[in-house]
């Protein structure tokens, strides 16, 4: 290792060190074009020796090509999104593309800012959670002229492509399972959701379908912040104090559901005989609980994979006909031990 330098290395440095023209150095380093084995080696050695790292900024500007895919999600804390990211990342690993993550905190204004920032790097594609965006955000996405995949949800009008599940349908499915098992006094607990559109849609799907079965939600409560497990306990306790005759609790996510489950078991409730429970997401993390919470898988990984494939395809083919795809995945109900009332 030589002493610290001020200027970072350029192609020219490698060119001089190897006695090969800049252009050929560039070709070697990118593995493009025919270069003789001899010069290839000379260049590789010189580059390694110097510790040269190419400047993608210059490369991207010159080639008008950026191997980045912007991925915009509401939160990293949510357990759900890291799994989507893994699907994206694994799929992109087989391509020259690289994901770049932006987080919006479920805040439309922040989404707009993040989107602006990311688009100003001229990525090759965008994967963004949800179908609801500000007008400005939609306009940017349209104007960007790159493939856009909206993920997690299919209930709405996509800008370009979309991959997800129907949360309305997921809510309906749960309602049907509830009706089939003759529950009648239903309590709902979830996040405060003015901005969590998917949780809202599930709730709507649930209530609409229950209504058709002649049942209304008997009690409901919304929370924000804090440890989900603890919130689940607290809300469940409070709700059952307030409305003791509930016979089913639907939670908008598995963590609060698990909190409720733990609380009820401690209280000695017979589950699901006295009271049934269900959550949402199919969080693998909870598989160690003594009782398996009924839940619905949101196909997180598959969504990530499919979205990445759409981007990869439309970048590779460099034509627009891969655009506008719409992929609806089917959430799978896992009844676990807390939903089906045994004989």
Partner DNA sequence: TTGAAAGCGCTAACAC
Partner DNA sequence: GTGTTAGCGCTTTCAA
Residues near a second copy, by CB under 8 A: 1, 4-6, 8-9, 51, 53-58, 60-61, 66, 76-77, 82-83, 85-86, 89, 98, 100-101, 103, 116-117, 119-122, 139-140, 142-145, 227-233, 255, 258-259, 262, 266, 284-290
Burial of 6 (0-12, 13-18, 19+ CB in 10 A): exposed
Pseudo-torsion of CA 306, 144, 160, 323, nearest 10°?
Answer: -70
Q: In whole angstroms, how close is the CB of 210 to a second copy at the nearest point?
A: 27
Q: Which is nearer to DNA, 13 or 153 (CB)?
A: 13
Among 1, 2, 7, 241, binds DNA (CB under 7 A): 7
**Using rule CB under 7 A, residue 27 touches DNA:** yes
**Using rule CB under 7 A, residue 47 touches DNA:** no
Strand 186-191 and strand 161-165: the pairing is unpaired
Residue among 41, 125, 48, 127 at smallest CA distance from 87: 127
Q: Which is nearer to a second copy, 66 or 175 (CB)?
A: 66
Alpha carbons within 13 A on the beta-carbon side of 13: 15
Among 5, 48, 65, 242, binds DNA (CB under 7 A): 65
Q: Which stretch binds DNA (CB under 7 A): 5-13, 101-109, 143-151, 271-279?
A: 5-13
Q: Residue 30 CB: number of other CB atoms within 10 A?
A: 11
Answer yes or no: are the C-beta atoms of 233 and 263 closer than 8 Å: yes
Give every CB contact of residue 37 below 8 A, 6+ residues apart in sequence: none
Q: Which is nearer to DNA, 65 or 212 (CB)?
A: 65
Answer yes or no: are the C-beta atoms of 281 and 79 closer than 8 Å: yes
**Partner in contact with 113, chosen from a second copy, DNA, none, beta carbon below 5 to 8 Å by kind:** none
Interacting residue ranges for DNA, rule: CB under 7 A:
7-12, 20-24, 26-27, 29-30, 32-36, 38-40, 54-55, 58-59, 61-65
């Amino acid at each position: 290792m030589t002493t610290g330098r001020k200027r970072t290395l350029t192609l020219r440095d490698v060119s001089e060190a190897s006695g090969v023209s800049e252009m050929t150095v560039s070709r070697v380093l990118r593995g493009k074009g025919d270069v003789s084995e001899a010069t290839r080696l000379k260049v590789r050695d010189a580059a390694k020796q110097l510790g040269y790292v190419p400047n993608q900024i210059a490369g991207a500007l010159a080639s008008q090509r950026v191997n980045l895919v912007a991925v915009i999600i509401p939160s990293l804390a949510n357990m759900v999104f890291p799994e989507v990211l893994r699907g994206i990342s694994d799929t992109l690993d087989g391509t020259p593309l690289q994901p770049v993550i932006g987080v919006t905190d479920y805040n439309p204004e922040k989404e707009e800012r993040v989107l602006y920032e990311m688009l100003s790097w001229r990525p090759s594609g965008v994967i963004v959670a949800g179908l609801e965006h500000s007008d400005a955000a939609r306009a940017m996405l349209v104007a960007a002229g790159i493939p856009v995949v909206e993920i997690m949800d299919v209930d709405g009008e996509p800008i370009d492509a979309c991959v997800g599940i129907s949360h309305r349908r997921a809510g309906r499915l749960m309602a049907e399972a509830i009706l089939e098992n003759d529950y009648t006094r239903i309590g709902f607990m979830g996040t405060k959701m003015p901005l969590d559109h998917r949780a809202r849609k599930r709730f709507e799907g649930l209530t609409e379908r229950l209504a058709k079965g002649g049942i209304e939600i008997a009690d409901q409560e919304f929370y924000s912040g804090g440890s989900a497990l603890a919130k689940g306990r607290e809300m469940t306790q409070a709700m059952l104090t307030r409305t003791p005759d509930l016979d089913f609790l639907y939670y908008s996510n598995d963590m609060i559901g698990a909190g409720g489950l733990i609380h009820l078991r401690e209280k000695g409730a017979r589950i699901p005989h006295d009271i049934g429970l269900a959550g949402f997401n199919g969080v693998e993390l909870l598989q160690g609980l003594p009782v398996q919470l009924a839940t619905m898988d949101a196909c997180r990984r598959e969504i990530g994979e499919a979205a990445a494939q759409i981007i990869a395809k439309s970048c590779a083919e460099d034509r627009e006909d891969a655009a506008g795809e719409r992929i609806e995945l089917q959430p799978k109900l896992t009844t676990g031990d807390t939903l089906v009332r045994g004989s």
